[in-house]
Structure 1
Amino acid sequence: MPEHTGSTLMKRVGECLPLVHRGKVRDTFAIPDHPDLLLQVASDRISIFDFVLPAEVEGKGQVLTALTVYWLTGVLKDIVPNHLVAYGAGIDTYLPTELCALPELESRALVVRKLAMIPVECVVRGYLTGSGWQSYQRNGQVCGHRLPPGLHDGSRLAAPLFTPTTKSHKGHDQDMDAGKACDQYGSSLGALSLVLYEVAAQHALRDGIIIADTKFEFGNGYCLADEVLTPDSSRFWLVPDWKEAKKAKRSPRGYDKQYAREWGKTVVTPFAENGSPLRLNQLNPRNPKHRSFVASVDVPADVLDQTTVLYLDILNRLAHMDLWSYQGKVMGM
């Protein structure tokens, strides 16, 4: 794996292009010579429970970029319009000379159309886990969908569900009632999300991969944007693992960010509620003291290394080639 470039690359890009937005993982830059386009650069930063950890997962940004290219130029290409304009070596056409022919940038950046984004995380669940499982345990429903009794973490749902959330830049996303979200932003929001999920899920299943859930984002005209079906935005399971876990009524290990989340659940913090110590996953990202604590946490090297392994593995299984081959054969690097 090439050495990660981290803040050095972002600084170099920022010296040439205006920074528009810094997200948890991606930095977005304007391209002055192309005012209708943006450059999105995926870093190796990792966030869990809406906190950015003080560590990087080597190669993560390259995997996120490659998988987004994989889905948008292949399986999902003709279903809905998407924001992708250029990737890999193709981004050089739109960039100033100082940023051209940089493999470290070509491997993790996309040139995309500038869109007015719909402020909804369009989550689709084919299986009950994560925050959906937590909601079900509280009241037997998820985002207004009443579910039957007797389900467990990892249960396959009778049909995929559109379970949207708000899009928060500072705190936790909040569940939205699916019907109300469609009333406000149009029924196509839910319908397109479900179609995209079902097409991708059926495609992945051919390789023995379950997409348990994922989230999509759309811009004006229901143009598909942001990252698509990556290990940051989705849960990927292997069919044999799911079948084995089902016997114990639990969810299987994921080939995604779940490994880091599970570590986060074990981190005891100096904060307490009702006399009980809080773990990292129970902290509030809006609380400055909580943010300061997370920024000081030492993330074990094995957690970062194993996350890299899982991200590379799921790309290999879906694309039928490793990251470096994909970058060379598909991304023109």
Structure 2
Amino acid sequence: MSSSPLVETKLPGIPVRHGKVRDVYDFGDRLLLVATDRISAFDWILPTGIPDKGRVLTQISKFWFDRLNVPHHLLRLDAKLLPLPDGTDVEGLEGRSMVVRKSEVVPIECVARGYLAGSGWKEYQESQSVCGIKLPAGLVNGSKLPEPIFTPATKADEGHDENISFERMCEEVGEDLATELRQRTLEIYQSAADFARGKGIVIADTKFEFGQAEGELILIDEVLTPDSSRFWPEDLYSPGQEQPSFDKQFVRNWLESTDWDKNSPPPELPAEIVAQTRAKYIDAFQRLTEQPFRWE
């Protein structure tokens, strides 16, 4: 049975930065990342949370951090070993907290695309290219690309991230770092996509974030979750249409069916949309890990 959604956290006296989904607390040499049950769409945080969504994101990230042979920021999931303020709701933090190494964040979203979807599909229709990468003619919405491509984006504090060319990325962070990030992004994506396909999931695209800590380039934030990736059920994959998904595209589609103008506060999500969205996230976790979701 699902719990009530956790849409905000409070740790009095601890410096905090609130993201769209995560609350990031600064404990000096470490950070505590708490994945709430907030859900965003069209650059708005929706007024309705999805119960256990933050736990699913955290548990999927943990699964990949353990599985991928790459340096990363995760130290442990248990927040109880931190000097938490008196009265902290430790039970509420369970399953949704990551204690991580601090790093200097590289200000680029590192995106890998194996299929044509989302902003990539829109750009292709206009220019037959994505982020300056020329693609074959005749591709359709959802087409598998000849090979995965690296399409970086600038990180926006507000509004949309902006897709940029690799050349522009080189100007932003330097050619050596840009080249290494491109290589790592594509290698991690290919490894994860091959694994997920064996579990019946197509990872159409994903975005990674990297940081630098003690001279080492490390993978940070969440990784290969339904929030940071497009997950499609392989058995229903059919190019030329919008694909069924395990991610929040389901919520976007519902919002598109309403009369919401995207410029004013969004509507509450109906109970059935909340329940179906939660089920999609949990289904993705269980397919990938072949483990039951313990908070069911």
Using the size of structure 1 for normalisation, the TM-score is 0.82
2:182 to 145, 168, 190: 190
Aligned length: 289
Q: Is the 8 A contact 2:43 2:160 kept in 1?
A: yes
Task: Report the CA distance between 1:183 and its aligned residue.
Answer: 5.2
Counterpart for residue 84 of structure 1: 74
Q: How far apart are the structure 2 equivalents of 1:124 and 1:241?
A: 22
Task: Report the CA distance between 1:139 and its aligned residue.
Answer: 1.1
SS of structure 2 residue aligned to 1:324 = coil
SS of structure 2 residue aligned to 1:168 = coil
Q: How far apart are the structure 2 equivalents of 1:95 and 1:129?
A: 44
Using the size of structure 2 for normalisation, the TM-score is 0.92
> By percentage of residues, which structure has more helix?
1
Counterpart for residue 97 of structure 2: 109
Counterpart for residue 121 of structure 1: 109
Q: Is the 8 A contact 2:5 2:50 kept in 1?
A: no
Task: Say if 1:211 and 1:309 are closer, same or farther in 2 by CA, change over 3 A.
Answer: same
Task: Say if 1:57 and 1:162 are closer, same or farther in 2 by CA, change over 3 A.
Answer: same
2:268 is equivalent to residue 298 of structure 1: yes
Task: Report the CA distance between 1:100 and its aligned residue.
Answer: 7.7
Q: Which amino acid aligns with 2:14?
A: L
2:81 to 88, 93, 96: 93
**RMSD between aligned residues:** 1.9
Q: Deviations over 1:286-318 (max 9, x none)?
A: xxxx2xx224x2322222211101000000000
Q: How far apart are the structure 2 equivalents of 1:5 and 1:304?
A: 10
Q: How far apart are the structure 1 equivalents of 2:171 and 2:200?
A: 36
Q: Which amino acid aligns with 1:320?
A: E
Task: Say if 1:105 and 1:28 are closer, same or farther in 2 by CA, change over 3 A.
Answer: same
SS of structure 2 residue aligned to 1:28 = strand
Q: Which amino acid aligns with 2:110?
A: C
Task: Say if 1:99 and 1:182 are closer, same or farther in 2 by CA, change over 3 A.
Answer: farther
SS of structure 2 residue aligned to 1:255 = coil
Q: How far apart are the structure 2 equivalents of 1:313 and 1:156?
A: 23
2:227 to 213, 223, 232: 232
Q: Deviations over 1:161-188 (max 9, x none)?
A: 1011111111111111023314543211
Counterpart for residue 157 of structure 1: 145
Counterpart for residue 18 of structure 1: 15
| 1:169-248 alignment, distance < 5 Å | 169-182=157-170, 184-185=172-173, 186=177, 187-220=179-212, 221-242=216-237, 245-246=238-239
- Structure 1 residues 176-185 or 117-126, which shifts more? 176-185
Give ranges in structure 2 of 5+ residues lacking alignment: none
Task: Report the CA distance between 1:96 and its aligned residue.
Answer: 2.9
Task: Say if 1:264 and 1:208 are closer, same or farther in 2 by CA, change over 3 A.
Answer: same
Identity %: 40
Counterpart for residue 50 of structure 1: 43
SS of structure 2 residue aligned to 1:211 = strand
Task: Report the CA distance between 1:17 and its aligned residue.
Answer: 2.4
Q: Which amino acid aligns with 1:126?
A: G
Task: Say if 1:192 and 1:99 are closer, same or farther in 2 by CA, change over 3 A.
Answer: farther
Q: Is the 8 A contact 1:163 1:177 kept in 2?
A: yes
